[in-house]
Structure 1
Amino acid sequence: MKKILILAYDFPPYISVGGLRPYGWYKNLSEFGIYPIVVTRQWENKKGNKLDYILPSKSDYKIIDHNKEGTIIKAPFKPNISNKLLLKYGEKRFKFIRKLISAYYEFIQYIFIIGPKAQIYKEANNFLKEEQVDVIIATGDPFVLFSYANKLSKKHNIPWIADYRDPWSQDIPIQKYKLYQKWCSFFEKKIIPQAKTITTVSEFLKIKIMELTKINNAYIIYNGYDEDLVKMTSHLSQNKDKMSVAYMGTIYDWYPINNFFMVVLKFIEEYEPNNFEINFYGINKEVELKELINTRYKKLEGFINIYPKMQNSELLKKIATDNLFLLFNNYSFLGTKIFDYVALKRKILFCYTDDFESKRLKKQHYLIEELGSEFQHLQEDMLKSTNSAIIIKDELHLNDVLKELYKEFSKKRTISCDAVNTEMYSRKIQTQELAKIILNIV
């Protein structure tokens, strides 16, 4: 059996969609003749919020777990001074100092093995001194893992694969910091051509990466869904008491959430339903959302529930009882939640394809250079091919759709969804595709 060393910073039990991708590999690769060894960090998950990312580990030593699927090496984690200040004094104090310290590590980590993530490299290197593997794969972000994989590749003469979950120097948030963007671009162009190949999550990202780094070969491995977790929800029925709409995960600045609430408010004022609700799960803007509701949409308070982050197994069980899923337009990006949505076979409300407010927000916040029009509706294409969604043009269309769906629910106590062709997006199938790439390399 071939062996692969996987560098993955985000990994369960840390609650992050970024950790689900390498976990799917770890869980399934052995079925296809490859033994995975994951090098990650120790996670505590004490806070249930973003502070979990910087909490120190309980142990100062590595922890190794051997399971039937493979091996997990968990490196100890020590927060830097910026992290310690944040943990001790909160977000409002020492902002400038914390930013300076964080910036220092973000820049210097590509030159020296230093900073909060350096222990990943050290534990991987120690392992390779004693054991042989056939290939290394690093999944980013954090993209310093690509630098680590490249160094390990040269030191131990092992081919490596760069796996992009998101763009590196071309990512939207990084465009605001021109110096850092140029810094990352320099190292991306330097490091990535030394990889044996790259994998990424969509055709759009594949082309953007190839254009920047001038590499000739790249493969698409979709994020996919966990078929075992989906099977665990198969016995769960839709909510029959209330027509419930679910949304999970990140709310980006270009999402027309205000517009969506405005339409929902009109619907509620017209129908005065006592059996309607919207459930938000593990969102990143809980404070902002509550403030928006409190100041502008007070009438929605009794119709909206906000739940904290939870493990993916719990989350899927929760949303499987909802009747509808809400998905905002990410244009050139597929995202992750879309795969869980289509797998659970609940009707998806896809907002929007041609809405004035959405276009305004996109122009203001969606800071990435897009390709041709065929790459600007990847979600819509997938939703149409799986027959999973109602493709909503604008707010007027959404208003009509909510009325029709509410009539359907009032009559049937359920919302129909006749999704097809979803199986190809399972993580097992996607891992099988990755295994083919790996075996072709070694």
Structure 2
Amino acid sequence: MVLNVKQTSVHKKVLIVTYYWPPAGGPGVQRWLKFVKYLPDYGIGPIVYIPENPNYPIIDSSLISEVPDSVTIIKKPISEPYKLAGLFSKKKTKTISKGIITNDNKQSSLEKILLFIRGNFFIPDARKSWIKPSVAFLKDYIQTERIDTVITTGPPHSLHLIGLQLKQKLQMNWFADFRDPWTTIGYHKQLKLTKRAKNKHKQLETDVLRQADHILVTSQVTKDEFMAKTNKPISVITNGYDVNHVAKPELDSQFTLAHIGSLLSKRNPEILWQVLSDLIAENPGFASDFKLNLVGFVSEDVLKLIDSHGLSNYVNKVGYVSHEEAVMFQKKSQVLLLIEIDSPDTRCIIPGKLFEYMISERPIVALGPNGSDIETILRETNTGSYFIYNDYVALKKQIELHYNSFKNGSLHANGIGLQKYSRKALTKSLAELL
């Protein structure tokens, strides 16, 4: 199905192949929704190819209003195994599709089976059945519409295989956009991959990296990794922030620490829970003022560890909210938490919410692995502090400093050099490459 709508005056048409698109919620949809919004300003007309009947784990209907009137959207049906698997265990299937995977020693037999099937029978991922029909349709569409540039964005990395096969059939320019790495992404270790499956992933990744005309990545760490695997040009275009029209709310009257986004089983810093527990025990004022807002899906493993440190009475478990509501929490919270898994594999992960955090004018406290790109950005923009998982003394001192500033009414952040992370500035960089 093709939705033809009015096009603005453009000099070049670009086909964007993406799985995540409104009404999908979560971070995966934001990057290309914003690029599509601003590309026409630079003389480029985006055409977006998406599944007609996707199985989105998170829905945010408010994002539909952000789809520009000028864009042409093409939809074709997709068959996904999550729907079949859901007949056996709807709860487990939905949880896994959100990326929330229980720790190995706590997995049920059914969960282990589902992960094994997902990892070894659906390579590179559960959307692989969309490759063949998409290539057949897009091959004719690209020729008919005289499109000379195609962009695929993953994960799911099966979309890059659509680009790969189109590249092999047509004379076209192909950009492969990696929002996350492929074979080095942390969750691969939890998919119970056989040796054969691991080798298959590596071969497909190599094929994409070596045959795409240009590679886009969201972090310098990923660029460094890919440079060892291909001699094709690689450009870093991070995620960013967009102008939002959410009125600035009053700050919370309590000393709120807010985490916006999913807290997976392994994104669970005991050092933070210990620091907060100790501050509550040592300082009656802190105990009276403190609240922990968890906005988004939270793993049971995280909630149990928080409870074991006596923090349950201080937790406000908000759950998933619309993007607009998430922005509201960012602006009114006293301190914003950014938590990444403590693993070298996550050094390249820069959550999209970081950039929205940065323009909220609230101080950020981030935890993650040593050598993370997040640390570099926070330092360069003066928007927050970064800690590794064994930095108890420094983390506790920083939260105490923020609490004291809160008490005397001087708690805020003074960001610098943020303009280069605006979605429009980032789209200009992309347009120049195109």
> Could you say whether these structures have the same fold, taking a TM-score greater than 0.5 normalized by the shorter chain as the test?
yes
- TM-score, L = length of structure 2: 0.81
Helix, strand or coil for the counterpart of 2:25? coil
Aligned position for 1:142: 156
Q: What is the letter of the counterpart of residue 76 of structure 2? A: A
Q: CA deviation at 1:32?
A: 0.6
Q: CA deviation at 1:266?
A: 1.1
Aligned position for 1:248: 260
Of stretches 146-155 and 423-432 in structure 1, the one that deviates more from structure 2 is 146-155
The answer (yes or no) to whether the contact 2:18–2:48 under 8 Å persists in 1 is yes
The 3 A distance-change label for structure 1 pair 398 and 41 is same
- TM-score, L = length of structure 1: 0.79
Alpha-carbon distance between aligned partners in 2 of 1:275 and 1:265, rounded to the nearest angstrom: 13
Aligned position for 1:33: 43
Q: What is the letter of the counterpart of residue 70 of structure 1? A: V
The 3 A distance-change label for structure 1 pair 436 and 243 is same
Residue of 382, 397, 413 corresponding to 1:417: 413
The 3 A distance-change label for structure 1 pair 74 and 281 is farther
The 3 A distance-change label for structure 1 pair 85 and 190 is closer
Q: What is the letter of the counterpart of residue 257 of structure 1? A: P
Residue of 361, 379, 388 corresponding to 1:384: 379
Q: What is the letter of the counterpart of residue 223 of structure 1? A: N
Residue of 200, 203, 207 corresponding to 2:224: 207
Of stretches 246-255 and 23-32 in structure 1, the one that deviates more from structure 2 is 246-255
Aligned position for 1:370: none
Residue of 181, 185, 198 corresponding to 1:171: 185
Aligned position for 1:85: 85
Residue of 327, 337, 340 corresponding to 2:353: 337
- Answering whether residue 329 of structure 2 is matched by residue 312 of structure 1, we say no
Alpha-carbon distance between aligned partners in 1 of 2:216 and 2:128, rounded to the nearest angstrom: 27
The 3 A distance-change label for structure 1 pair 427 and 162 is same
Alpha-carbon distance between aligned partners in 2 of 1:391 and 1:93, rounded to the nearest angstrom: 38
- Answering whether residue 146 of structure 2 is matched by residue 132 of structure 1, we say yes
Alpha-carbon distance between aligned partners in 2 of 1:404 and 1:107, rounded to the nearest angstrom: 48
Alpha-carbon distance between aligned partners in 1 of 2:405 and 2:188, rounded to the nearest angstrom: 44
Q: What is the letter of the counterpart of residue 303 of structure 2? A: K
Aligned position for 1:260: 272
Unaligned runs of 5+ in 2: 1-10, 61-65, 93-107, 341-345
Residue of 318, 322, 326 corresponding to 2:333: 322
The answer (yes or no) to whether the contact 1:66–1:72 under 8 Å persists in 2 is no
Alpha-carbon distance between aligned partners in 2 of 1:187 and 1:331, rounded to the nearest angstrom: 23
Alpha-carbon distance between aligned partners in 1 of 2:288 and 2:112, rounded to the nearest angstrom: 48
Aligned position for 2:97: none
- Answering whether residue 70 of structure 2 is matched by residue 73 of structure 1, we say no
Q: CA deviation at 1:30?
A: 0.6
The alignment yields a C-alpha RMSD, in angstroms, of 3.0
- Answering whether residue 235 of structure 2 is matched by residue 219 of structure 1, we say yes
Q: What is the letter of the counterpart of residue 403 of structure 1? A: E
Unaligned runs of 5+ in 1: 54-64, 353-361, 363-372
The answer (yes or no) to whether the contact 2:179–2:217 under 8 Å persists in 1 is yes
Give me the identity figure in percent.
23
Alpha-carbon distance between aligned partners in 2 of 1:345 and 1:309, rounded to the nearest angstrom: 23
- Answering whether residue 305 of structure 2 is matched by residue 289 of structure 1, we say no
Q: What is the letter of the counterpart of residue 221 of structure 1? A: I
Q: What is the letter of the counterpart of residue 83 of structure 1? A: K
Q: How many residues align?
A: 391
